[in-house]
A and B are shown apart, each in its own frame.
Chain A
Amino acid sequence: MTEEIIIAGFGGQGVLSMGKILAYSGIMQDREVSWMPSYGPEMRGGTANVTVIISDVRISSPVLTEYDTAIILNQQSMDKFEKDVKKGGLLIYDPNGIIRKPVRKDIDIYTIEGAKEAAKIGNSKTFNMIVLGAYLKVNPIVKMENVLKGLRKSLPERHHHLIPLNEKAIKMGAKKVNNVQKHCC
């Protein structure tokens, strides 16, 4: 099993830390993992993305141009990465701010109202965990217990009191994820 994921959105949406928590969860499940971010000054308020690979064999290239899953959190990223999802692959996006919906027919598409749900929880920082919960519901590559262990590992000690809130957000994401298309052919 090798799962190749791109997570892409604005800097500040928690894209990189969501990838990190996912990668740490993979380690907790005894998998090989890699996490490769975009980096540079263009990230100042601009776009950010991270490639996360979780596998049960040694990981080859950490940099990819085709993905099993794309988690898309803004329009620029939709424009850039929709075409890079492998045939039969998975695309999850937050419709908030998306003006051009995905058009691919050969992939599975899900939506998660991450921004809206985060507002309901009353903490915009839970946004990325809601999206993560949505993804893990659709593709449970790591067990919830390992995600919680991953959270514990990747959050600094002083933020550990936030773990229950994050857990709640992940569960919320799992509940609210919405299938909009099953791939055809």
Chain B
Amino acid sequence: MANNITPEEIIKKGKLVFSKTALMTDKVLSYCPGCGHGVVHRLTMEVIEEMGIQDKTIGVAPVGCSVLAYEFMNIDMQQAPHGRAPAVATGIKRAFPDKFVFTYQGDGDLAAIGTSETIHACNRAENIVIIFVNNGIYGMTGGQMAPTTLEGMKSSTSPYGRDIEMMGHPIKITEMVAGLPGVCFATRQAVHKPGLVRKTKKAIRKAFENQRDKKGTSIVEVVSNCNSGWKMTPVKSNEWLEENMLSFFPLGDIK
């Protein structure tokens, strides 16, 4: 094959169905193959690109597998201490009320160590977007139990399955904060199927539009997989998600 053919020539006009998201950097994602984090990154960046707000957006990365989100999202970002992203985002938003501010957090970050920051940011109706990737486990640190780990689910700190009596119930934090007047939009989505990916993108778009319209806090929960932490193949983990996670964490708008 002659090597002077450009990609544009190979992909004939009208046949192009997907290209790299403009606001994703060229860095290779550090996520395990099959992990949902990458999709949620892409959707967030697509929304920011389509709204044309790259120059007005500041993101906050958590501590969790997505701690390196700033490596992949081609926008200005800050990296917060574990669980503190909503407080850091509050600082940014109060300092720059006209900018777009969002946090990107895992379930351990948002619903365990950061519960207080989550609740109080929502209660103050901080005009920010919270993107919450719920994979029911601590991925980054090697698969320990999360506040969202399902009853009976095995993890490295619940090796015999989550025992409700000893370890408490899995927490539905999106429902909890939906009850606060400061929250204008609370929804639960997923990204393991194409149709759901499109819905999630719409939800993220709506959340950023709420921020533009100064409506208060929007939280978009994405029920996702952690194939490494769950010790499954990516395909199996998506099946498991469908069969187990969604009955406890049903999809759809909560508020």
A73 to B140 CA separation, bound complex (whole angstroms): 26
A45 to B33 CA separation, bound complex (whole angstroms): 10
A45 to B228 CA separation, bound complex (whole angstroms): 10
A41 to B30 CA separation, bound complex (whole angstroms): 9
Q: Chain A contacts of B30 at CB under 8 A?
A: 41
Q: Chain A contacts of B33 at CB under 8 A?
A: 45
Q: Chain B contacts of A41 at CB under 8 A?
A: 30, 65, 140
Q: Count how many chain A residues have C-beta atoms less than 8 Å from C-beta atoms of the other chain.
A: 3
Does any Cβ of A come within 8 Å of B235's Cβ? no
A45 to B34 CA separation, bound complex (whole angstroms): 13
A44 to B30 CA separation, bound complex (whole angstroms): 9
Does any Cβ of A come within 8 Å of B22's Cβ? no
Q: Which secondary structure dominates where chain A touches chain B?
A: loop
A41 to B228 CA separation, bound complex (whole angstroms): 11
A41 to B35 CA separation, bound complex (whole angstroms): 14
A44 to B231 CA separation, bound complex (whole angstroms): 12
CB distance from B216 to the nearest CB of A (A): 35
Contact with B along A36-54 (1 / 0, CB 8 A): 0000010011000000000
A45 to B140 CA separation, bound complex (whole angstroms): 14
Q: Chain A contacts of B65 at CB under 8 A?
A: 41
Contact with A along B62-74 (1 / 0, CB 8 A): 0001000000000
Q: Chain B contacts of A44 at CB under 8 A?
A: 32, 228
CB distance from B234 to the nearest CB of A (A): 12
CB distance from B138 to the nearest CB of A (A): 12
Q: Chain A contacts of B228 at CB under 8 A?
A: 44
A163 to B91 CA separation, bound complex (whole angstroms): 59
Contact residues of A between 18 and 51, Cβ < 8 Å to B: 41, 44-45
A101 to B174 CA separation, bound complex (whole angstroms): 56
Contact with A along B119-147 (1 / 0, CB 8 A): 00000000000000000000010000000
Q: Chain A contacts of B32 at CB under 8 A?
A: 44-45
CB distance from A125 to the nearest CB of B (A): 16
A44 to B32 CA separation, bound complex (whole angstroms): 7
Closest to B139 in A: A41
A41 to B139 CA separation, bound complex (whole angstroms): 10
A130 to B213 CA separation, bound complex (whole angstroms): 65
Instruction: Show 6 residue pairs from A and B whose CB-CB distance is below 8 angstroms, ordered by the A residue.
Output: A41-B30, A41-B65, A41-B140, A44-B32, A44-B228, A45-B33
Q: Which residues of A contact B (CB under 8 A)?
A: 41, 44-45
Name the 7 nearest CB pairs between A and B, nearest first: A44-B32, A44-B228, A41-B140, A45-B32, A41-B30, A45-B33, A41-B65
